């Protein structure tokens, strides 16, 4: 758990460092008790819906330690992107990265819509800024697709990227111009890259060994819930294990599948209620209830409070 807590501190420190570069009021931001309130305060101070992108782009090199240096030692843009895709979970377990030919995809795996927008936009800014600082001839993009809505500051973002930007997508995508992913990086060190790759692999294994042993089960359960009705069979299939193997793992942790399912249903409901953009009927629909009243009864059974009252308390 120490490694996990250290990673959260590191992430917060990196975000605050990016905010300092942008000239945002750190005294206000340091008072924020958690990440949702921190990002709300950043958006308010920056007056820019795309603030997470700018913050990610402004994070000084080295705040993400081994991952930063692994990317810097890579020979090409593509090698750096593949390294990030393999190891980005050390920064966030809520985002999966992948490179397919010239398309780099940033897929949020959990969270309500605003959380998904924030983590994908922050990562896009972080990744593109690091690559741009290492490419001699400039990094040419064909187009960029982002989550969330366009705003009055979207044209400035498109100018910075020097590429068309579109919004409202389920996942973020950066489509590179032909030849861009094969561009060499300044300061590439192939031998150091191989050493760092092994080190980051070991770091990831240690961190996940020390973390909640059911973290992958919870992540899989949440993903199944968001795609439809989760079952023991569907979660086991997502994890690539048999149902009995999964049941034994839960039994060793002293939990039953139904208990874990109820826990994740509640966590998902709370995350949706935190999003001010969603009405109660939309939340009920997303959670698989045909009527808002059915969701209200279920939430009251879980918490003893109706969802409307719970949301008021959050504010």
pLDDT tens track for 24-51: 999 999 988 878 889 989 999 999 999 9
Query: Where does 215-314 sit in CATH, by number?
Result: 1.10.10.60
Is residue 272 a contact partner of residue 298, using CB atoms and an 8 Å limit?
A: no
Tokens of 302: 């879980």
Lookup result for tokens 């719970």 = 310
pLDDT at 102 over 60: yes
Question: Minimal CA–CA distance to 224: which of 120, 109, 96?
Answer: 109
Hey, which residues does 95 pair with through a beta bridge?
108
Tokens of 17: 């460092």
What confidence score (pLDDT) does residue 47 get?
Answer: 93
Lookup result for tokens 């032909």 = 178
Lookup result for tokens 């997502």 = 238
Domain ranges of the chain: 2-207, 215-314
pLDDT tens track for 118-168: 999 999 999 999 999 999 778 999 999 999 889 999 999 999 999 999 999
**Rounded to the nearest 5 degrees, what angle is found at the Cα of 96, between the Cα atoms of 243 and 128?**
175
Q: What is the pTM of this model?
A: 0.68
E strand segments, the chain = 95-100, 103-108, 141-145, 165-166, 172-176
pLDDT tens track for 55-66: 999 999 988 887
If you average pLDDT over every residue of the chain, what do you get?
Answer: 86
pLDDT at 174 over 50: yes
Average of pLDDT values for 228-239? 86
Question: Minimal CA–CA distance to 23: which of 49, 50, 54, 53?
Answer: 54
pLDDT tens track for 261-307: 888 888 888 878 877 678 899 898 888 888 999 999 988 888 888 88
């Amino acid at each position: 758990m120490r490694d996990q807590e250290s990673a959260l501190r590191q992430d917060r420190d990196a975000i605050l460092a990016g905010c300092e570069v942008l000239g945002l009021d750190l005294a206000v931001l340091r008072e924020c008790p958690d990440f949702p309130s921190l990002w709300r305060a950043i958006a308010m101070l920056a007056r820019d819906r795309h603030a997470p992108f700018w913050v990610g782009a402004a994070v000084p090199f080295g705040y993400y330690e081994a991952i930063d240096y692994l990317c810097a030692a890579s020979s090409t843009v593509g090698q750096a992107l593949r390294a990030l895709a393999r190891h980005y979970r050390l920064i966030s377990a809520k985002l999966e990265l992948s490179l397919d030919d010239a398309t780099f995809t940033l897929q949020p795996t959990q969270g309500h819509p605003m959380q998904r927008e924030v983590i994908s936009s922050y990562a896009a800014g972080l990744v593109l800024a690091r690559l741009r600082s290492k490419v001699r001839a400039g990094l040419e993009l064909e187009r960029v697709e982002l989550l969330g809505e366009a705003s009055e500051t979207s044209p400035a973002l498109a100018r910075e990227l020097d590429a068309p930007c579109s919004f409202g997508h389920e996942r973020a995508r950066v489509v590179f111009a032909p030849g861009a992913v094969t561009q060499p990086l300044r300061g590439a060190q192939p031998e150091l890259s191989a050493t760092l790759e092994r080190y980051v692999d070991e770091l990831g294994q240690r961190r996940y060994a020390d973390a909640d042993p059911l973290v992958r089960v919870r992540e899989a359960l949440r993903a199944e819930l968001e795609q439809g009705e989760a079952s023991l069979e569907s979660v086991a299939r997502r994890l690539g294990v048999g149902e009995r193997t999964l049941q034994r793992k839960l039994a060793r942790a002293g939990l039953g599948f139904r208990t874990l399912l109820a826990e994740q249903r509640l966590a998902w409901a709370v995350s949706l209620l935190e999003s001010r953009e969603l009405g109660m009927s939309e939340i009920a629909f997303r959670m698989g209830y045909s009527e808002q009243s059915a969701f209200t009864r279920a939430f009251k059974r879980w918490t003893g409070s109706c969802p409307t009252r719970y949301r008021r308390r959050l504010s």
